[in-house]
Amino acid sequence: MKKYRAIFIGAGLAILALLFYGFGVRKTIDDILAMGWRFWIVTGIFLFNNIFMTAAWKVLINHPVRASYYPRLFLARVAGDSTSSVNAIASAAGEALKAIYIKDAVPFKTGLASVVLDRTVHIISNVLMMLTGIFISFFVLNIPLWISSATLAAFILVLYAMMMVLKKQRQGFVRYLLTRVPRRWLDRFMNVTRWEKVDTLDGEIAFVFSDRKTMRSFYISLFIHYLSGFFFSSLEIYLIVIFSGNDISFVHSMFLYIFSMFLTSVIFFMPANLGTSEGSFSLALRFLGHDPAIGLTVGLVKRLRTIVWSLIGIVILFFAGMTRKN
């Protein structure tokens, strides 16, 4: 596994090197420096995205949570996401960390169930955004109808698959996933007590789909995920391009975001989307008739923003640890 990871990291670095070679190191640095203090405006946009995403998570928690506890939920989300971004392979640990961080007010199993549901909502919202991107491409790109139709059909199939996942979540999704693991591996880690915990977790998840009220919470969360993710991510790209001294429309920024999300999802095995994120932005810009060199700037600035928020998350974890010790 480590060998393959090293190969993928090497491939990602090679892609970055080719992009720098093709577009010029000096131009990219100049574009980034042109942003100046406005980089912090771009970084601040992610604050609003996190606020809305925390609200989307909160409605999925099947436990009374006071409004005054919202800042704690926000810190838990930032800390968990920072853990996932620092070590993408251990992203599951970052998700579990959110439930651990709020267990003083929400039972751990209930919190963990809400995190699983929140991740499901996030994936479904991404699929819906990609479907939206297909419709946007009808207007911003001169794509043959048969290609657009085939792509749309493929995403409808993906959406259908997601509906099947939701159906499984009503019937015991975590147990279902674990039973897909080879028996000789499963027997090493699972015992009666752990299976009971899995069934309890599945019960917490299934409860959300048990009546109209809880299903309404699910759809509200999906609505927030979709609008917040779509708007703030597109706005971030738009401002990066504008602040670096270039020009682009907001609709084109939306297409850039969706195209990059699609391509990095396909090439998911690249650690931290190294090289593929920057390359996808450049490719999308070429399709739109813009200077593809801007894509490298967009990708690098987004990485700098991720680093800033990861550091914020690490600081939150540090002080949380200090608080527990005291």
Mean pLDDT of 161-181: 60
pLDDT confidence bin for 245, thresholds 50/70/90: confident
Q: Which of 235, 303, 246, 236 is nearest to 30 (CA)?
A: 246
Minimum mean pLDDT range among 25-39, 99-113, 192-206, 288-302: 192-206
Backbone angles phi, psi at 160, to 5 degrees: -65, -40
3 state SS for the chain: CHHHHHHHHHHHHHHHHHHHHHHCHHHHHHHHHHHHHHHHHHHHHHHHHHHHHHHHHHCCCCCCCCHHHHHHHHHHHHHHHHHHHHCHHHHHHHHHHHHHHCCCCCCHHHHHHHHHHHHHHHHHHHHHHHHHHHHHHHHHCCCCHHHHHHHHHHHHHHHHHHHHHHHHHHHCHHHHHHHCCCHHHHHHHCCHHHHHHHHHHHHHHHHHCCCHHHHHHHHHHHHHHHHHHHHHHHHHHHHHHHHCCCCCCHHHHHHHHHHHHHHHHHCCCCHHHCCHHHHHHHHHHHHHCCCCHHHHHHHHHHHHHHHHHHHHHHHHHHHHHHHHHC
Residue 128, both tokens: 């819906």
**102-122 confidence digits (pLDDT tens):** 888 888 878 887 888 888 888
* Per-range mean pLDDT, top range of 174-188, 202-216, 263-277, 280-294: 280-294
Determine what percent of the chain is predicted with pLDDT higher than 70.
Answer: 61
> What was the pLDDT predicted at 224?
93
Regarding predicted confidence, which is higher, 198 or 246? 246
Residue 322 or residue 13, greater confidence: 13
Q: Identify which of 59, 55, 62, 109 has the alpha carbon closest to the alpha carbon of residue 207.
A: 62
Tokens of 245: 């001294």
Distance CA 48, CA 228 (A): 9
Please state, in angstroms and rounded to a whole number, the distance separating the CA atoms of residues 86 and 88: 6
> Which has the closest alpha carbon to 229: 255, 271, 250, 257?
257
Q: How does pLDDT run across 304-326, given as a tens digit for each residue?
A: 888 888 888 888 877 765 445 44
Please give the structure tokens belonging to residue 31: 């574009």
pLDDT at position 52: 93
State mean pLDDT over 276-282.
Answer: 80
Q: What percent of the chain has pLDDT over 90?
A: 11
Are 284 and 22 spatial neighbours (Cβ–Cβ below 8 Å)?
A: no
- The confidence score (pLDDT) of residue 322 equals 43
Is this structure's pTM higher than 0.85?
Answer: no
Of the spans 25-34, 84-93, 186-195, which averages the highest pLDDT? 25-34
Most confident of 37-41, 111-115, 132-136, 281-285: 37-41
Q: What is the mean pLDDT of residues 260-286?
A: 75
Mean pLDDT, all residues of the chain: 75
Q: Which of 72-76, 112-116, 254-258 has the lowest mean pLDDT?
A: 112-116
Q: Is 55's pLDDT higher than 60?
A: yes
Domain of residue 267: give its range: 2-325
| Alpha carbons 297 and 240: distance in angstroms, whole number | 8
> What pLDDT, on the 0 to 100 scale, is given for residue 95?
75
The domain total for the chain is: 1
At residue 236, the pLDDT reads 93
* Separation of alpha carbons 29 and 19, rounded Å: 13
Question: What's the pLDDT at 134?
Answer: 73
